């Protein structure tokens, strides 16, 4: 009889490099990625959804880094579907899912889908499977986190409207922090540089539930409507498709987070790195390595650092020890990837829930 441990040892695997225990989140260790997409299909639209998926999957198969995917339908509820896909690593998936190509590719699905939820996992261990003879790169060890989910949104406003937009975004009333018994908003920090806006969000619990909760709050809705006339990308929040496309393009995912061992409070700032075309992911990876090394140094001023990246937009959110100078001069390897100088963004508002 073959035990599970024996099956695991039989598979030719290669572990990723061991990273600092202070890194709670990273897409850069090279391990395999499993993406799970939960899909709620409109009643009666199952055949339309299947046909749209069949057109889509042939295109996805051509995306660099894609390994395989499966489409599954619930045996209990015909409206519930599941799409799982495997990728060589996280960066090629993120490059694709955050691209304009992806936005256009998935449009045929929108007319038959009520709701979706995407979950992304690094493969840590596995047994058997159809590719048992292939060399598999697995995450070396489990990561330990602090229970906080980090996400950001970014968009641009029309040149000349920056001061008006900054005032609107600074003056709104904070939404209710409690979403439900298991989810609450912890912190929202809003920054600007030129006509670019970045809103960093920290949540305990379900990120999507928190984002939907915020979008329903009257005070937030009023702010969003107030800045609509100044947005470079038009949107209609009363139109589901328009809102979906806007927030898909605005998503600025966290790709790396590192923190000091002691839970200390620091001074928060954001640095914006405009990458050369096609260099955003590599730039984010170098920043992640730089911050990981800094967090290991006992005298480092860096307490926590999160790198956010989408396409050629890279933002580094740093908590530094109060009163401690931090050298933000980019290393030579970074400057070669920059389209312009890295700049410190202006803090517009930084809000925390009382019991965050």
181-198 residue pLDDT tens: 899 999 999 999 999 999
CA dist 82 and 37 (Å) reads 6
Lowest mean pLDDT among 29-33, 35-39, 215-219, 303-307: 215-219
E strand residue ranges, 142-263? 149-156, 184-193, 196-204, 251-259
CA dist 57 and 69 (Å) reads 8
102's tokens: 């992806």
- What pLDDT shows up at residue 129? 60
Q: Which is more confident, 211 or 197? A: 197
Residue in 124, 127, 152, 128 with CA at minimum distance from that of residue 284 = 152
Q: What top-level class would CATH report for the domain 149-352?
A: alpha beta
- Would the pTM count as exceeding 0.75? yes
Cβ neighbors of 339 (< 8 A, separation 6 or more) are 274, 275, 276, 277, 312
- What pLDDT shows up at residue 58? 86
Q: Is the pLDDT of residue 2 over 70?
A: no
Q: What's the chain's average pLDDT?
A: 86
Confidence of residue 48 (pLDDT cuts 50, 70, 90): very high
Domain(s) labelled CATH 3.30.70.100 in the chain stretch across 32-123
Which sign, positive or negative, has the C-alpha torsion 184, 217, 202, 242? positive
Q: Provide the CA 225 distance to its chain's centre, in angstroms.
A: 25
| Residues linked to residue 251 through DSSP beta bridges, in sequence order | 153
Confidence of residue 103 (pLDDT cuts 50, 70, 90): confident
Q: Which is more confident, 17 or 85? A: 85
Confidence of residue 110 (pLDDT cuts 50, 70, 90): confident
In CATH terms, 32-123 corresponds, of 3.30.590.10, 3.30.70.100, 3.30.1330.200, 3.40.50.11720, to 3.30.70.100
- What pLDDT shows up at residue 68? 93
Confidence of residue 264 (pLDDT cuts 50, 70, 90): low
Q: Is the pLDDT of residue 284 over 90?
A: yes
Q: Is the pLDDT of residue 11 over 70?
A: no
Which percentage of the chain shows pLDDT scores above 70?
A: 89
- What pLDDT shows up at residue 30? 87
- What pLDDT shows up at residue 14? 64
């Amino acid at each position: 009889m073959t035990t599970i441990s024996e099956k695991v040892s039989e598979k030719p695997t290669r572990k990723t490099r061991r990273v600092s225990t202070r890194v709670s989140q990273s897409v850069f260790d090279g391990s395999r990625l499993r993406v799970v997409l939960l899909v709620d299909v409109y009643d009666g639209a199952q055949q339309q959804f299947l046909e749209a998926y069949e057109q889509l999957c042939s295109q996805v198969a051509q995306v660099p880094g894609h390994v395989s995917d499966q489409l599954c339908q619930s045996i209990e509820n015909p409206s519930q579907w599941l799409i799982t896909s495997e990728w060589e690593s996280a960066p090629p998936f993120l490059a694709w899912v955050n691209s304009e190509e992806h936005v256009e590719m998935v449009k045929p699905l929108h007319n038959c889908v009520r709701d979706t939820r995407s979950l992304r996992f690094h493969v840590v261990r596995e047994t058997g499977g159809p590719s048992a003879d292939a060399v598999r790169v697995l995450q070396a060890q489990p990561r330990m986190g602090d229970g906080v989910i980090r996400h950001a949104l970014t968009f641009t406003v029309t040149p000349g409207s920056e001061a008006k937009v900054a005032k609107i975004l600074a003056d709104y009333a904070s939404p209710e922090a409690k979403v439900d018994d298991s989810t609450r908003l912890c912190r929202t920090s809003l920054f600007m540089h030129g006509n670019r806006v970045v809103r960093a969000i920290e949540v305990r619990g379900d990120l999507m539930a928190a984002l939907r909760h915020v979008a329903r709050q009257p005070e937030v809705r009023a702010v969003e409507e107030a800045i609509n006339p100044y947005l470079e990308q038009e949107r209609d929040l009363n139109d589901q498709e328009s809102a979906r496309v806007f927030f898909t393009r605005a998503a600025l995912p966290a790709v790396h987070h590192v923190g000091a061992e002691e839970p200390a409070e620091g001074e928060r700032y954001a640095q914006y790195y405009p990458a050369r075309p096609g260099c955003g992911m590599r730039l984010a990876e170098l920043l992640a390595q730089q911050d990981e090394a800094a967090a290991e140094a006992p005298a480092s001023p860096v307490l926590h650092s999160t790198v956010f990246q989408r396409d050629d937009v890279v933002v580094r959110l740093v908590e530094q020890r109060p009163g401690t100078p931090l050298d933000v001069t980019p290393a030579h390897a970074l400057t070669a990837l920059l389209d312009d100088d890295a700049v410190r963004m202006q803090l517009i508002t930084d809000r925390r829930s009382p019991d965050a």
